[in-house]
Amino acid sequence: MLRRNILGLMVCIVCLGAATLSYAGQPDPILSGAVAATAGEVSVFTLPDGNGKGLNEAKVEVGGEVDATITVTLVDALGNPIFLYPFEDMWLETSAGGLAPCNGGTVSDGSTDINGQTTFSAALYAGGSSDRVGGEKCKVIVNGTALVGSDMDILFNSADIDGDLQVGLPDTVAFVPLYTGGVYNYSIDFFFDGGINLSDLVLYAGGLNTACP
């Protein structure tokens, strides 16, 4: 009987150790987190070739340019920071799919450091536009799962208006009536100043003929 009890205890210890090991190095989407350097709504102008603006060059509608760098902290279910979690397994999406990324175009700046942290600050390789009226949010995705509570008021728009990852004739056909129509539309407020004007036209023209690498 004693031997049986000891054997049972050993099995429990092994199972507990295996369960603990399975948690190590696996990001917990609830305990992990993401925060933008700037609170409140900002906008980021993107291009499929990566020559748009970085998150560290975001704009507020009143006040100009701000740093909206996102800092991500990954921990496992035991609260331990995850070191060297691969950058390609962390990326940005928007809640309604308005942001259209090139392959690997919205990944983090690098793998996590010893504190389990990394950032999103560089320009994205992407097109499309967030639905500002509908309240579309930016989310941090880790290995296919959104971090709980990572919804941020970061909007994206692009000269790639139709989100097909190249800026060409279809985008011009879409841009012209929006530009001349006299009605505000966030999707072409590239300069993000609350109006549709020459500054937006300049940014659109600069994005013509760009595409994913």
pLDDT, tens digit, 9 for 90 and up, residues 11-70: 333 333 433 434 578 999 999 999 999 999 999 999 999 999 999 999 999 889 999 999
For residue 63, the model assigns a pLDDT of 84
Specify if 156 maps to a domain.
yes
| Strand partners of residue 140 | 92
**Average of per-residue pLDDT across 110-122:** 98
Task: Write down the pLDDT at residue 23.
Answer: 58
> Residue type for 204, please?
Y
d(CA 150, CA 140): 6
Asked if residue 56 is part of any domain, the answer here is yes
* pLDDT on residue 9: 38
100 lies in some domain: yes
Using alpha carbons, list the distances in angstroms from residue 176 to 114, 191, 199.
49, 16, 14
Identity (one letter) of the amino acid at 52?
G
Rounded to an integer, what distance in angstroms lies between the CA atom of residue 43 and that of residue 69? 12
- Assess if residue 190 is contained within a domain: yes
* Residue 89 CB neighbour total at 10 angstroms: 15
Residue 199: pLDDT band with limits 50, 70, 90: very high
In the prediction, which pLDDT does 80 show? 98
Classify residue 81: in a domain, yes or no: yes
**CATH number of 32's domain:** 2.60.40.10
Element (H, E) at 145: strand 145-146
Domain span at residue 156 reads 25-207
Residue 11 lies in a domain: no
72 or 7, which is more confident? 72
* Residue 8: per-residue pLDDT: 44
DSSP state letter for 102: -
Q: What is the largest CA-CA distance in the chain?
A: 88
pLDDT digits (tens, 9 = 90+) for 166-183: 999 999 999 999 999 999
Token pair for 98: 């308005």
Residue 181 lies in a domain: yes
Name the one residue in this structure whose structure tokens are 């902290």.
73
Total of domains in the chain: 1
Torsion of CA 93, 95, 100, 102, to 10 degrees: 20
